[in-house]
Structure 1
Amino acid sequence: MPLTFTGPAVALPAISRTLGGSPIALNWVTNAFMLTFGSSLMAAGALADSFGRKRIFLMGLGGFALFSAGLAFVSNIVWFDILRALQGMGAAAAFSGGMASLAQEFDGTARMRAFSVVGSSFGVGLAFGPIASGLMIEAFGWPAIFILVVILAVLAFGLGARFLTESRDPDAASLDWPGALSFTLALTLFTYGVLRAPENGWGDPLVIVLLVGAALLFLAFGIIERVVKRPMLDLTLFRYPRFVGVQLLAAAPAYAFVVLLILLPVRFVGIEGMSEIAAGRMMVALSAPLLVLPIVAGLLTRWFTAATICGAGLIISAMGLFWLSYLTTGSAPAALIGPLLTIGIGISLPWGLMDGLAVSVVPKERAGMATGIFSTTRVAGEGVALAVVSAILSSFIQSKLGAAAGDHASFAAQRLVTGNLLDAVSSVPAIGHATLIQGYSDAFSELLWLLTAITALTAIVVFTFLGRRNAEESAMETGTPGPENNDEVVDASSA
């Protein structure tokens, strides 16, 4: 699954050359997956609790494999974006069902360590995904990325069918369709509005309508969740300080790490002219710590609190972001390794604890909802962060180009954000190649300063909330009954 995040980012310039498309259409290559993945997770978690976690896992994985296969043979950018959206829905079902199933197998520190192993497995995909993508693009073309995804999904399907035990929540109600639809539509309108803003302007009537519509739908979602009998999002959980801290922690990697997985390959390949393989090698420095440090973080919980580990990790990431901001476009690749490793090391510490923390603050029979809420916050946060950060980078570039670019500043900035340097140069010939790259470099540094501040502030807030525990929350943790008393367990052979 991590390959579906990193692979298209490395392949974006190649996809653009093959399928064409406007900057907005190319942004949807990543955003379509993140949007449907993030907005479907809570619904998928509720379905997993109701109809069986193993069943939803296998159904989602089957759909994920099918749509991934379609991506390898698509012939235009519109169908590519549609299939990416469908791929995200399948991934959401597979992820929610799989994580909820895992939560039923372990308790306490064993559960935390199990989720740390999951974090490391994701680290393998994030660490080697970019370089594997680069190798496949140069050897076979970008469709090979999605063929590999299909192969891995089929293997996971076979293992899940053989070894997972079916379980469900006997008290689960039917899916909260009004809540699911209002939340998904709100995210869609917000993301589309943010992506349109750099090109149309924030005062454009369409952008205003999209953002106001998103705000109204988010408000409607909150009202719906308060009145339905069994909400998709149980708002009462937010009275627990540690639950709030977990949701803030879920959003933290979006700005400290995930946006770099998308923006840096575009910068390396599209702006700096690296090959896809060279860009993949650079991204290993950012992602490699996820191979081992999530497991180390799980072991560190014997001596340090989760609040301390997570807060320290985010501060380390902020230091890496600040360091990276001083390495401009064209810096020696070796000079980038230090800050990229620092960011990766920092984010790896909370990465290995987040999933376990998400299910530790609710009763085990609500593991599907807990996984859905946490994962929705994380992935929806990533999609929103990518849209917002891309818009901010475009605005910064426009500011750097200034009056010299005239009416074409927005067009040039949008092309630079998606790595299309040739179109940007042709749109403003009076500025010149070197000036465009310098403007991009200065804007990227300013963006990293902003991400540094956001990450450092999040570290402080997360440390504060994760360290708090009210009496009701403590009673809930100590009094949570095990799955043998609350979950209907079905023999795997009957699934």
Structure 2
Amino acid sequence: MSAAGSSVAGVTDPSPSTAAAPMPAKQRVVLWIAVLASFVAFLDGTVVNVALPAISDELGGGLTTQQWVVDAYLITLGALILVAGSVSDAYGRVLVMRIGLVGFGIASVAIAAAPTAEFLIVARAVQGAAGAFLVPSSLALITSTFRGAAQGRAIGIWTAGTTGAMIAGPLIGGLFVDLLSWRLVFLINVVPIAVTLWLLARAHLRDERRTDAAIDWLGAVLCTLGLGGIVFALIEQPRLGWGSPIIWGTFAGGSILFALFLLRQRTVTSPILPLELFRVRNFWTGNVATAFIYGALALNGLVVVVYLQQGAGLPATLAGLASLPVTLLLILLSTRVGALSGRWGPRLFMTLGPIVMGVGALLLLTVSTAFSYWWQVLPSMIVMGLGLALTVSPLTSTILGAIESERSGIASAVNNAVARVAGLIAVALLAVIVGGSLDLEGFHRAAIVTGVLMFAGGLVSLAGIRNPPKVDEPPPTT
């Protein structure tokens, strides 16, 4: 879950009159399509961590395989989500959604049938590329179909659907791993994909295309290969060492390609990463905070669910449900926090929220060989959930509110990509962070790093975020 792409941050409470208004049949179909398409991507993001120990047990590779299963998806997702808007404009949202759904489905089947870890990792990269086009195109369908209060209601329903994936994913994934096979976890997507494609065929939606839309394919390739080279070096370095030409060569090559990507974004006519957005104080500060916070969340989410299975001996179902309090608190409190942030300003919440999450991460240091979920893990999950609820909505509204509304789409895509890439790097560094093995000592190391990253996110927000002037106050003159 990313800041701008959060399934909670965009919730708006419809008025009673709006909620009671009947929705035309065509709008209902469009809404179902948008919810199901996003549900697929969110569901996959929540089930994969639960299946990692079983995957590495069967296909081998240990921690390195687990890192690659996560990061192969995030590399293509993080790089291509930036270009998704341009592709949708050029070829049409409906066509792009169909391609994304079919690609995601084929990749899911390939993962389920993977004979080797290498085959599975490549299929995960394809799945990430397809997933990059699902969430943006689904939200674009909603914003182009609904207007005014109906749009707020539709986004609220979309939020409920995608949040349902966050809750159901770990439970379904854990049950499949424990009772059937980890391979079937990746086939869960096939049913909602088939239903969505059927609804798209029945809806007869008119696709709108912009003939003047420019797609920076070269930028997308440079970004993907650059991130891939850097991540390959970080993941494989503990095994091969920095003295290996493969490691320093791919790291140097990836760094050069990513630098060329950034240079191209300064000169290309239609950049996929408009660097001028980062001249806006709240936007760049919010994205730096996003990098710290969501890097920490990715690290914590992977470490907790894997250690609870491999270290504490919990079955996959219980390990998947361990972080459920975080999701429930996020759902229960985010709307209220969003309202308070609008009244008092986001700076306080963006400072306190990550610091509270940092405290929650450090509570995991109480985990010992005499393991107890209720006394050692649950308190951390509750504190983490409170901190996340304080953070997500103010962070999202601050970043999007810093940019003019007509560019909110690209602002959201950039923030989503920052969150994904931060998680990508954090997972790539996992072996270095835990000392090569996710035992109890490694688990404690990861908890400390998670806490430090969270504290850094809070301090960045404290130093950099500025509360916008209230509507009844004149803007500052300096």
1:120/1:352 contact within 8 Å kept? no
Relative to structure 1, the CA distance from residue 120 to residue 260 in structure 2 (aligned partners, 3 Å threshold; closer, same or farther) is: farther
1:41/1:93 contact within 8 Å kept? yes
Q: CA deviation at 1:102?
A: 4.2
Counterpart of 1:448? 447
Q: State which of 277, 283, 287 in structure 1 corresponds to 2:323.
A: 283
Amino acid corresponding to residue 327 of structure 1 in structure 2: V
1:100/1:367 contact within 8 Å kept? no
Relative to structure 1, the CA distance from residue 290 to residue 150 in structure 2 (aligned partners, 3 Å threshold; closer, same or farther) is: farther
Unaligned runs of 5+ in 1: 395-412, 418-439, 471-495
Pairing 1:71–2:111 present: yes
Alignment partners' CA distance in 2, 1:364 and 1:165: 26
Q: State which of 361, 365, 385 in structure 1 corresponds to 2:426.
A: 385
Moved more, 291-300 or 267-276: 291-300
Alignment partners' CA distance in 1, 2:148 and 2:284: 20
2:53/2:66 contact within 8 Å kept? no
Q: CA deviation at 1:194?
A: 0.3
Q: CA deviation at 1:257?
A: 2.0
Relative to structure 1, the CA distance from residue 145 to residue 134 in structure 2 (aligned partners, 3 Å threshold; closer, same or farther) is: same
Amino acid corresponding to residue 440 of structure 2 in structure 1: S
Q: CA deviation at 1:86?
A: 0.6
Pairing 1:339–2:400 present: no
Alignment partners' CA distance in 1, 2:434 and 2:388: 22
TM-score (norm 2): 0.80
Alignment partners' CA distance in 1, 2:293 and 2:85: 22
Q: CA deviation at 1:154?
A: 3.4
Alignment partners' CA distance in 2, 1:306 and 1:120: 24
Counterpart of 2:127? 87
Per-residue displacement from partner, 1:49-93 (whole Å, max 9, x unpaired)?
A: 333334423431232123213322222222211111111111101
Per-residue displacement from partner, 1:366-397 (whole Å, max 9, x unpaired)?
A: 44422321211111211111112332213xxx
Q: State which of 286, 302, 305 in structure 2 corresponds to 1:262.
A: 302
Per-residue displacement from partner, 1:269-298 (whole Å, max 9, x unpaired)?
A: 112221112212323234332333333333
Amino acid corresponding to residue 420 of structure 2 in structure 1: V
Moved more, 132-141 or 101-110: 101-110
1:240/1:469 contact within 8 Å kept? no
2:64/2:235 contact within 8 Å kept? yes
Q: CA deviation at 1:195?
A: 0.3
Q: How does 1:366-377 map to 2 (within 5 A)?
A: 366-377=407-418
Counterpart of 1:8? 48
Alignment partners' CA distance in 2, 1:340 and 1:173: 45
Q: CA deviation at 1:126?
A: 2.8
Q: CA deviation at 1:239?
A: 0.7
Amino acid corresponding to residue 128 of structure 2 in structure 1: G
Amino acid corresponding to residue 343 of structure 1 in structure 2: M
Q: State which of 321, 329, 346 in structure 2 corresponds to 1:306.
A: 346
Find the residue that maps to 2:82 and give its secondary structure.
Answer: helix
Alignment partners' CA distance in 2, 1:368 and 1:240: 16
Relative to structure 1, the CA distance from residue 167 to residue 154 in structure 2 (aligned partners, 3 Å threshold; closer, same or farther) is: same
Alignment partners' CA distance in 2, 1:92 and 1:100: 13
Q: How does 1:122-271 map to 2 (within 5 A)?
A: 122-157=162-197, 173-271=213-311
Relative to structure 1, the CA distance from residue 49 to residue 445 in structure 2 (aligned partners, 3 Å threshold; closer, same or farther) is: same
Alignment partners' CA distance in 1, 2:92 and 2:143: 13
Counterpart of 1:294? 334
Amino acid corresponding to residue 415 of structure 2 in structure 1: F
Amino acid corresponding to residue 444 of structure 1 in structure 2: F
Q: CA deviation at 1:344?
A: 2.2
Q: CA deviation at 1:108?
A: 9.8
TM-score (norm 1): 0.77
Find the residue that maps to 2:343 and give its secondary structure.
Answer: coil
- Counting matched residue pairs gives 430
Q: Which has the higher helix share?
A: 1
Amino acid corresponding to residue 374 of structure 1 in structure 2: N
Counterpart of 1:39? 79
Percent of residue pairs identical: 24
2:174/2:317 contact within 8 Å kept? yes
Amino acid corresponding to residue 58 of structure 2 in structure 1: T
Alignment partners' CA distance in 1, 2:354 and 2:236: 31
Alignment partners' CA distance in 1, 2:201 and 2:113: 28
2:43/2:166 contact within 8 Å kept? yes
Moved more, 272-281 or 165-174: 165-174
Unaligned runs of 5+ in 2: 1-40, 470-478
Alignment partners' CA distance in 2, 1:466 and 1:157: 43
Amino acid corresponding to residue 318 of structure 1 in structure 2: G
Amino acid corresponding to residue 371 of structure 1 in structure 2: S
Relative to structure 1, the CA distance from residue 257 to residue 330 in structure 2 (aligned partners, 3 Å threshold; closer, same or farther) is: farther
Alignment partners' CA distance in 2, 1:50 and 1:27: 34
In angstroms, what is the RMSD of aligned CA positions? Answer: 3.2
1:169/1:366 contact within 8 Å kept? no
Counterpart of 2:464? 465
Q: CA deviation at 1:249?
A: 3.9
Amino acid corresponding to residue 392 of structure 2 in structure 1: W
Relative to structure 1, the CA distance from residue 141 to residue 111 in structure 2 (aligned partners, 3 Å threshold; closer, same or farther) is: same
Amino acid corresponding to residue 101 of structure 2 in structure 1: L
2:56/2:63 contact within 8 Å kept? no
Alignment partners' CA distance in 1, 2:204 and 2:406: 17
Alignment partners' CA distance in 1, 2:90 and 2:408: 11
Alignment partners' CA distance in 1, 2:206 and 2:334: 27
Q: CA deviation at 1:175?
A: 0.7
Moved more, 122-131 or 210-219: 122-131
Find the residue that maps to 1:148 and give its secondary structure.
Answer: coil
Find the residue that maps to 2:226 and give its secondary structure.
Answer: helix
Per-residue displacement from partner, 1:7-61 (whole Å, max 9, x unpaired)?
A: 2221122222333346433421111111111111111122123333344234312
Moved more, 308-317 or 215-224: 308-317
Alignment partners' CA distance in 2, 1:206 and 1:73: 30
Q: CA deviation at 1:105?
A: 6.4
Relative to structure 1, the CA distance from residue 281 to residue 324 in structure 2 (aligned partners, 3 Å threshold; closer, same or farther) is: same
Q: CA deviation at 1:363?
A: 4.2
Relative to structure 1, the CA distance from residue 319 to residue 465 in structure 2 (aligned partners, 3 Å threshold; closer, same or farther) is: same
